Chain A
Amino acid sequence: MTLELETIKWIPWLPALAAVVGGVCCMRKSMRNLAAPACILSILAGFIITLGVQSKVTVDSPRVFKAFTWIHIENFAVDFSFYVDPLTIIMLTVITGVGTLVAWYASGYMKGDRGYARFFAAVSLFIFAMTILVMADNLFLLYLGWEGVGLCSYLLIGFYYNKPAAVAAAKKAFIVNRIGDLFFALGIFLTYSHFHTVSLAEVLRSAGDLNTNLHAGGQGVFDLGAAPSVVVIPFLLMLGAFGKSAQLPLYMWLPDAMEGPTPVSALIHAATMVTAGVYLIARLLPLFALSPYALPIVAAVGGATALFAATIALCQCDIKRIFAYSTISQLGYMFMGVGAVSTAGPTVSATGAIYHLFTHAFFKALLFLTAGSVMHSLAGQLDLRKMSGLSKKMPITSVLMLIGCLALAGFPFTSGFFSKDLILADVVEMGRSNSPFATLYSVLGIVGVATAFLTAFYTFRLWFRVFTGPEQYEMGSDGHGHEEEGHDAGKAGHEQAHAPKSGETASAAIAVEHHHEPHEVSFVLMNLPLIFLAIGALGAGLWESKFGWIHHGIETSSAFLGYIPKTASDAGEAHDIHFTMQLISGSIAIVGIALAAWFHWLNRPAGERVARAFSGLVKVLNNKYYVDELNDALIVRPLRTLADVLFVFDSLIIDGIVQLVGFLPRALGMSLRPSQQGELQGYGLGMAFGAAFVLIVVLWSLNLVAMH
């Protein structure tokens, strides 16, 4: 099935409509079940359109479609227009594909929740903003989407708004993102002041021309002469990307963001929104390539984050937090991949990063959602130490999560294996090139391999802990934030001797069961979408290595810097590196899994002994390197003290001035009061003096004028 490319214009508006429907549903209780189908169908329609148009995109891309004029002030015009090239399509596939499956899952997962309609309204709005973000033809529109997804993230992290931790997490996410967004906005302003346009098409063309000059003339970037600003732009944009994608130093909001409902963690904080930073850099790759330092720094930050987050993930006990740190770590890989690019070769496109983005979306969403299933059946229990041997109770979930874990660990021939390997190969290739940053890339290659090992280990630590060993579990206290309604209804159901009567109390029945024992979750509503995700997580890599959809797509998109004619020996060498890296990363994944199996399945006491031997390190890792505490001491507390000081200043000086301003007219009035004593003589005198005064002054001044 193929559709006209033009239809792509509709993709954002369908979820927008669904968001409005969801908003209306929030108000009418009778309609609240309508919100979920509206949301799912609108995203599914977007997915179908994306698939329908994708074959037409590679021909004469990029194409720009204008929806309407958005801002028009004299010469400055910003259109609501969409930039479509294969990169857009890849992103849309991820967003709408994973989005549909997650929304489908959520329709079962969120059942019985008081904010059911609100949830789907926010998810629809998120999809609207996210599609705008990836389809935007100009930086302003992109920023609109960027802030829109930030808003939805805030709304959904704080979804359980009467839970203080959720509210705090929502604020943290929002504020940390604002720091990045500030720089992003500055980057946009600077882009406009330099290129006199914010249109991506034009900015990319100009940047491409500059690159071509650079490449042909061998002219150094700092010789660009009048344009030092061009060199600064990537750094500003980069900071925005780091904030949104939770990279060092702006990563700390993402683990806390797990306070939101699990489908949100899967969709927004694993598969889509957090990859916006990677998308931004990939999209603006020609701009980033203008500065010789920008991309190496991106790669270095990515590598550091990958290793850093992976070490923290080793010692966490909360399932969702482990996955959150793993997300940060995998995003670090993507940044490494997008940073391991150079106009001078040997890597000239961000294929690795986008490929990993694509596969990661599937397996990480799968992992989060299976974690959600575990949580769902254990009534909110997330602590690894309090569950064990669940595979008998939840066979499907255990297999699905195993698939996700294999992909994340990079087990050979799963999707994660191929994409991670591509990034590692790119980095190593860069390390062997004559780039001035070759040493950096070599180190990053080692970091990448080490992270791969850690990833395999902590992933399977989790899986073995949860699903193998003796069957033990401790139920959670609440319905994974399944708020009071479900909870109370559960109690009510309990009293009624397990006699749910209508569909409305079906959730109550589930809630009752929660308190008894774990169970497999609903197949159609929750496990079926996961099976699709699992197919993606397993097969996406094989499919890609057969068809090269992403490879070809990226080569006709803006994440491609140009063809470097490769000699046969180069190509052969590249192939060798590729193969070597596959071998190394594959075997290291297997070693990691085996080690995890030994310590956490076969011989758990040994694992505990090791942990005790390194108790100091474990403690540091368990406390996430004390970064939150450090933040508190270095940033939050001084700011708070400053705020206190300013408050005193404000209340004394500023308020004083304001009070004074308010007091002055009153004081003036008071001083004039004696003139209004109510006595006729006084008034008459006042008038007479007034008239006399006028005359005297005027005549005197006339005299003065006459004398001159």
Chain B
Amino acid sequence: MNLMTEKIAGLWPEISLLLGACSCIAAGLAGTVSVRRLAAPIAAVALAVAGVATLAGASPPTSIHIGAHGSSANGIAAPLACYVKIAVVGVGLLLLLVAAAVPNRIRSDQQVDNAPGSAFDAGLVMRGEFFAFFLLSLTGVMLVSGATDLVWLFLALELTSLPTYVMVATARDRVEANEAAVKYFFLGALAAAVFLYGFTLLYGATGSTDLNVIHNVAKHQLAHGGLSPLLLTGMLLSIVGIAFKIAAVPMHFYAADVYQGASTAVTAFLAFVPKTAGFVALILILGITGDHTPQPVIWLLWAMEALTMTIGNVMGLLQTNVKRVLAYSSIAHSGYMLLGLVALGGHRAGEAAVLFYVVGYGLATIAAFAVLGCLETNGDESQDYAHIAGLAKRNPGLAATLLLAVLSLIGMPPLVGFLGKVYLFTSAIDHGYVCLVVIAAINSAIGAVYYLRIASACYFGKPDEATRVIDWPSRRVGGTAAAVIALALGIVGGPLVEAASLAVDAPIGHPTHSTGIVLPPADDERGEMPDTATPQPAAPTTAPADDAPAATETAPQPAPETAPSEPAGKSSDM
């Protein structure tokens, strides 16, 4: 019981979002339009409460790291979870501004709204559901960041994705939207099967679903002849499966179709929310092996990274549909962020860079989609270069927002995209992945072509007669705010960078762990047995009541007398 309450104590942000989701549904069922329209404000309040709850639950990070992913004992959120939750709340509010007007465009809602009272059919209105699913998906991301267990992680990932399938399907009255939702759902299910398979293999290899335990077993195995193939395969499958969430090769196929089919505001949502969940999940999965990412995993990430950004960029070049362009840009940016994961061992600067970049990317892409969402061509969404042509002449404000967004996506100083790329690339260079960085730089150059094409269409193109600007203040404010924040973070991004590095690197000074941090891979050869032989960095201090400690005591039985050098060398060869 005690355990349960403590766990719940750390989940106040999630709980508030959940309650908000329920309230949205309830409000959505009301017979009067004005009450139904409260759904969006309710969602905003829920997000705000979640933000406050996160800040209240956060405390100076003292205790937990690698071994104890997101452990939330004593109601203290882990720094990683804390960072992710704050980011989700912040970016979520912007997304909400952008998405607030979505139900107004759904035909059934319009009909019901315009025929007040007469014959209210709750089955026709989507507004309540839309915002409820919106909040539920965000809840999923928050839960992912706090996951300490594979089952939890799986459920949280699915909680992130399932609402988005519905949002894609219902938020736009077009058959393409339904097609997109079906594709998204089936392919998402396939990917979920892949990483679920990976999770079961992890369980099979270690006998536990607890990430701490799995970490300790992995550590033990690393110290004694390398990871077992089962554990390794489990990791690989998990990574490949989760790649779907971030739209990375080979799981990227859906992105362009789904992004194109979904309502523009929902596309913005898809570009940030599942991606964040995916990267956090990847960080947790890679955390299993701590600082010593096995060589095959590095190969996998290396190849995924190079292919993802290259495919994303070269395909982006060919598109004439701006939403598809931004979809491929989303793929390409996932490629850049994988760079940080490759560079994960050692100082963990790579992780911090990823966490920073995902926010920067989210801001820029939300701004771009928001501007796109403010345009309408022949009663439908504007999607082509031709539609945004000459926007600067019609609406300089929107054009400027779009310009800032694409410049940030290019990585132009002083925007946040530049800062993000600097951190990612330097972290990768620090770990010797110069070749990857060169590939990434070439890719950035290729990407600049289609981003600048957007900007040039906007500023030098001839205005399209059929396109008009819709007056949706909330969406415009959301987009502008995202662009302005992208600019501001590019100039004074220090605090966010610090927060990101704190999120992964917090407990410096923890004796056991700090040794782990500073050990370069070469030191493995010397076999730091005393260190590896004390494998419970987190358990005694952080979660005394968890079952984790018990499992930990039983699982790894370090054998100090084993000759350390040879197996260690072997493990690094893998």
Contacts and interface: CB of A to CB of B under 8 A. Distances in A.
B472 interface: no
B186 interface: yes
A691 B315 contact: no
A665 B241 CA distance: 28
Interface string A674-708: 01101010111011111101110011011001000
B225 to A, nearest CB: 11
A368 B299 CA distance: 80
A688 B256 CA distance: 18
B183 A665 contact: no
Interface string A126-149: 000000000000000000000000
Contacts of A684: 186-187, 190
A672 B299 CA distance: 23
B182 A680 contact: yes
Interface string A583-612: 000000000000000000000000000000
Contact of A672 (B190, B233, B236, B311): B311
Contacts of A701: 296, 299
A668 B446 CA distance: 12
A701 B296 CA distance: 8
Contact of B236 (A670, A675, A683, A695): A695
Contacts of A691: 194, 237, 240-241, 250
A286 to B, nearest CB: 50
Nearest to A680: B183
Given A669-B317, A683-B254, A687-B244, A702 B300 contact: no
B203 interface: no
A675 B307 CA distance: 14
B257 A688 contact: no
A673 interface: yes
B257 A678 contact: yes
B249 A690 contact: yes
B482 interface: no
Given A680-B183, A687-B250, A666 B232 contact: no
A705 B233 contact: no
B532 interface: no
Nearest to B198: A691
B120 interface: no
Nearest to A693: B250
Nearest to A675: B253
A689 B296 contact: no
A667 to B, nearest CB: 8
Contacts of B244: 687
B168 to A, nearest CB: 14
Nearest to A698: B296
Interface of B is mostly: helix
B253 A683 contact: yes
B573 A665 contact: no
Contacts of B253: 675-676, 682-683, 686-687
Interface in B272-319: 296, 299-300, 310-311, 313-318
A424 B258 CA distance: 93
Interface residues of A, number: 28
Given A684-B186, A705-B573, A694 B236 contact: yes
B249 A699 contact: no
Contacts of A682: 253
Contacts of B66: none
B379 interface: no
A571 B430 CA distance: 77
Given A665-B446, A693-B250, A676 B315 contact: yes
B187 A687 contact: yes
B191 interface: yes
Contacts of A665: 313-314, 317, 446, 449
A705 B316 CA distance: 39
Contacts of A702: 229, 232, 296, 574
B138 interface: no
A157 B183 CA distance: 73
A693 B315 CA distance: 22
B251 interface: yes
Contacts of B449: 665
A698 B302 CA distance: 13
A658 to B, nearest CB: 13
A670 B311 CA distance: 11
Which residue, of B253, B317, B574, has the highest number of chain A Cβ atoms within 10 A? B253
Contacts of A694: 236, 240, 250, 300
Contacts of A699: 229, 233
Contact of A687 (B251, B310, B570): B251
Nearest to B260: A678
A666 B314 contact: yes
Nearest to B253: A683
Given A665-B313, A665-B446, A690-B251, A683 B183 contact: yes
Interface in B218-257: 229, 232-233, 236-237, 240-241, 244, 249-251, 253-254, 256-257
Contacts of B314: 665-666, 668-669, 672
A672 B252 CA distance: 13
A698 B232 CA distance: 9
Nearest to B324: A676
Contacts of A669: 314-318
Contacts of A686: 250, 253
Nearest to A702: B229
B381 to A, nearest CB: 18
A688 B251 CA distance: 9
Contacts of A675: 253
A706 to B, nearest CB: 9
Contacts of A690: 240, 249-251
Interface string B311-346: 101111110000000000000000000000000000
A699 B253 CA distance: 25
Nearest to B261: A678
B186 A680 contact: yes
Nearest to A685: B253
Interface in A627-676: 665-666, 668-670, 672-673, 675-676
A666 B318 contact: yes
Contacts of B313: 665
B539 to A, nearest CB: 31
Contacts of B296: 698, 701-702
A665 B296 CA distance: 28
Nearest to B249: A690
Interface string B547-574: 0000000000000000000000010011
A686 B256 CA distance: 15
Interface in B140-193: 182-183, 186-187, 190-191
B233 A695 contact: yes
A687 B191 contact: yes
A686 B255 CA distance: 13
B254 A705 contact: no
B370 to A, nearest CB: 26
A670 B257 contact: no
Contacts of A672: 311, 314-315
Nearest to A666: B317
Interface string A515-527: 0000000000000
A702 B297 CA distance: 12
A581 to B, nearest CB: 70
A675 B254 CA distance: 11
B216 to A, nearest CB: 22
A687 B244 CA distance: 9
16 contacts: A668-B310, A668-B314, A672-B315, A680-B183, A683-B253, A683-B257, A686-B253, A687-B187, A687-B251, A687-B253, A688-B190, A691-B194, A694-B250, A695-B233, A698-B296, A701-B296
Interface of B: 182-183, 186-187, 190-191, 194, 229, 232-233, 236-237, 240-241, 244, 249-251, 253-254, 256-257, 296, 299-300, 310-311, 313-318, 446, 449, 570, 573-574
Given A683-B183, A687-B191, A695-B237, 8 more contacts: A668-B310, A669-B318, A673-B318, A680-B186, A686-B250, A694-B250, A698-B233, A698-B299
